[in-house]
């Protein structure tokens, strides 16, 4: 079957759990990981009758940071709404979310596609909502733990601007880096801190129109599976279109054993959430806080990469690796500062990139190691030879002891050369040179 002639059209929805101290609408602690079930709950996050939610400002600020990092505009007026549906993970019968008045709208993020080409992905919205409880299915029952219920959750929705899985991969990676540099979430996909949903359809290459259907890939917990599911959908949908079949709006999941997607919900069963404004929560008017929040925001990976390239003359690849991990870039910048010009940015960068655990190294140690080790500099044979000759001349007695057979005496001569070179000489080369000199003069 010829699969050419079609292109993917993908829009993404990413959910990220914020790492605030308190839950979204109550004062329960969010520190529930590894704790016994139903120990971090109160009348609000249990949805008991009469309980009233109160907005967590820290979460709103984090949501704005994410929005601003994605070049969005913060709304002058923003509101929460009730998204109604019945499922035991939500004890209230609705989720407090945002619909018509999201906090941040209209942004973009640049990603690389499969040809390495940079494309702007438009961000439709970044809105605030709450997470649900966790269900465990056992036999004929479902066990419910509400510790996660009400954890602040931010949803980021793109326009259908992705046309290959590489762009999707790059987008997810960049978002994760942004969350981590902002310090708003650990964004650990394995732990479910960050979750992806994809709306996937295909169209003939060259067509600018959006297909009249889309398949929603949902409840896929691993990034690898999501990529596999998108690739599977591409083939399945093209095959269906080639056969003249009509594709419809539906929700599909991923079966890892069979390596295929499967129908979860058809069009007829599509949810009807009946959103309406949450009457218990007053409107947010926080656009005036943007100036202050921008001041508090750290430098983001993209800006860091630019600075490393322009100001420190690092190659793109090194700049990218360093900037992608805020701990690593911190070690890099501190080490560079401590080295006070004795080391080039590239030397420090290479050392960290080539270390397995660069991000956890002590900057002082990195500098010290570099200054005393091979990468530290003086490898020039003539210079080392000059210093070695000086050392032998100034320590004739020690040289004599070596020549008489006490070979360990060379250590003290190596020490002299290292001191003369201020620790910058290559120790192995120094030893070799001293041996040559001492043996030839005997």
Partner 1 sequence: MRQPKSDLQNSQNIEHVAKLANLPLSNAELAIYSEQLDKIIDYINQLNQVDTKGVEPTFSVREITNVFQTGEQNQSLTATEALQNAPVHKDNFFVTKGIFED
Segment interacting with partner 1 (CB under 8 A) among 144-152, 323-331, 364-372, 377-385: 144-152
Least Å from the CB of residue 371 to partner 1: 47
CA atoms of 149 and 37, how far apart (whole Å): 11
Does residue 82 interact with partner 1 by CB under 8 A?
Answer: no
Record the tokens describing residue 113, joined without a space.
């596609």
Q: Single out the segment in contact with partner 1 by CB under 8 A; choices: 34-42, 198-206, 322-330, 424-432.
A: 34-42
Which CB, 21 or 404, lies closer to partner 1?
21
- Residues with Cβ within 8 Å of residue 387, at least 6 apart in sequence: 417, 420, 421, 425, 430
Q: How far apart are CA 83 and CA 275, in angstroms?
A: 5
User: Residue 12 in contact with residue 126, Cβ under 8 Å?
Assistant: no
Stretch in the footprint of partner 1 (CB under 8 A) among 102-110, 279-287, 383-391, 427-435 = 279-287
In the complex with partner 1, the residue whose CB is nearer, 135 or 239, is: 135
The whole-angstrom separation of Cα 217 and Cα 197 is 6
Report the site for partner 1 in 158-197 (rule: CB under 8 A). none
Residues with Cβ within 8 Å of residue 406, at least 6 apart in sequence: none
User: Tokens in use for 410?
Assistant: 């060379």
What is the token pair recorded at 317? Answer: 């690849």
User: How many residues of this chain bind partner 1 (CB under 8 A)?
Assistant: 53
Task: State which H helix or E strand residue 81 sits in.
Answer: strand 81-84
Q: Which is nearer to partner 1, 288 or 356 (CB)?
A: 288
Q: Which of 2, 34, 50, 141: binder of partner 1 (CB under 8 A)?
A: 141
- Tell me which of 73, 117, 207, 219 binds partner 1, using CB under 8 A: 219
264 binds partner 1 (CB under 8 A): yes
Closest to 263 (Cα-Cα) out of 220, 199, 217, 221: 217
Least Cα distance to 53 among 44, 43, 40 occurs for: 44
Q: Does 292 bind partner 1 (CB under 8 A)?
A: no
Q: Residues 90-109 vs partner 1: string with x where CB under 8 A?
A: ---x----------------
Contact map string, positions 243 to 262, toward partner 1, x by CB under 8 A = ----------x---------
Work out whether 63 is an interface residue with partner 1 (CB under 8 A).
Answer: no
Is residue 284 near partner 1 by the rule CB under 8 A? yes
Is 266 one of the binding residues for partner 1 (CB under 8 A)? Answer: no
Indicate whether 41 belongs to the interface with partner 1 (CB under 8 A).
yes
Nearer to partner 1, 118 or 135 (CB): 135
Query: Which of these segments, 79-87, 239-247, 341-349, 356-364, binds partner 1 (CB under 8 A)?
Result: 79-87
Contact of 31 with 69, CB cutoff 8 Å: no
What sign does the CA torsion over 204, 207, 213, 218 have?
positive
By residue count, the chain amounts to 442
Q: In what order do the strands lie in the sheet with 81-84?
A: 94-97, 81-84, 276-277
Quick count: other Cβ atoms within 10 Å of Cβ 380?
A: 12
Taking the C-alpha atoms of residue 96 and residue 60, their distance in angstroms, rounded to an integer, is 14
Verify binding: residue 74, partner 1, rule CB under 8 A: no
Q: How far apart are CA 260 and CA 229, in angstroms?
A: 7
Q: Rounded to the nearest whole angstrom, what is the least distance from the CB of residue 59 to partner 1 in the complex?
A: 9
**Residue from 86, 116, 311, 397 that binds partner 1 (CB under 8 A)?**
86
Q: Are 166 and 114 in contact (CB under 8 A)?
A: yes
295 binds partner 1 (CB under 8 A): no
272 binds partner 1 (CB under 8 A): yes
Query: In the complex, which residues of this chain contact partner 1 (CB under 8 A)?
Result: 21-22, 26-29, 36-43, 46, 54-58, 60, 79, 84-88, 93, 135-137, 139-146, 219, 253, 264-265, 272, 274, 277, 279, 281-286
């Amino acid at each position: 079957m010829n699969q050419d002639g079609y292109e993917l059209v993908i829009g993404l929805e990413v959910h990220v759990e914020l790492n605030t101290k308190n839950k979204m609408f109550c004062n329960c602690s969010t520190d529930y990981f590894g704790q016994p079930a139903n120990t971090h709950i109160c009348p609000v996050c249990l949805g008991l009758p009469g309980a009233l939610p109160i907005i967590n400002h820290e979460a709103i600020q984090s949501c704005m940071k994410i929005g601003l990092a994605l070049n969005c505009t913060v709304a002058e007026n923003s509101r929460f709404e009730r998204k109604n549906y019945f499922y035991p993970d939500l004890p209230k019968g609705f989720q407090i979310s945002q619909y018509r008045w999201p906090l941040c709208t209209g942004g973009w993020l640049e990603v690389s596609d499969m040809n390495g080409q940079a494309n702007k992905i438009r961000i439709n919205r970044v809105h605030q909502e709450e997470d649900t409880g966790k269900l465990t299915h056992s036999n004929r029952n479902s066990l419910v733990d509400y510790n996660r219920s009400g954890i602040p959750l931010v949803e980021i929705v793109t326009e259908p601007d992705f046309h290959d899985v590489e762009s999707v991969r790059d987008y997810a990676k960049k978002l994760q880096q942004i969350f981590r540099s902002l310090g708003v979430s650990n964004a650990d996909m394995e732990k479910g801190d960050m979750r992806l949903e994809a709306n996937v359809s295909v169209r003939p290459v060259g067509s600018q129109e959006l297909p009249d259907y889309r398949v929603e890939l949902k409840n896929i917990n691993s990034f690898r599976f999501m990529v596999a599911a998108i690739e599977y959908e591409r083939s399945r949908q093209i095959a269906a279109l080639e056969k003249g079949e009509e594709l419809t709006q539906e929700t599909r999941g991923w079966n890892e054993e069979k390596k295929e997607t499967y129908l979860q919900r058809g069009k007829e069963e599509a949810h009807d959430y009946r959103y309406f404004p949450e009457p218990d929560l007053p409107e947010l008017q926080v656009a005036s806080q943007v100036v202050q929040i921008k001041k508090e925001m750290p430098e983001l990976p993209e800006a860091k990469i630019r600075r490393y390239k322009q100001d420190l003359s690092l190659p793109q690849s090194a700049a990218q690796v360093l900037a992608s991990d805020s701990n690593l870039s911190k070690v890099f910048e501190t080490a560079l500062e401590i080295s006070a010009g004795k080391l080039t940015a590239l030397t420090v960068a290479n050392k960290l990139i080539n270390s397995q655990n660069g991000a956890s190294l002590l900057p002082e140690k990195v500098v010290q190691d570099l200054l005393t080790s091979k990468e530290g500099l003086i490898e020039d044979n003539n210079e080392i030879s000059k210093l070695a000759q000086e050392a032998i001349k100034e320590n004739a007695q020690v040289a004599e002891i070596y020549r008489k057979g006490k070979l360990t005496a060379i250590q003290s001569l190596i020490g002299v050369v290292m001191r003369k070179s201020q620790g910058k000489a290559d120790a192995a080369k120094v030893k070799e040179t001293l041996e040559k000199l001492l043996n030839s003069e005997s």
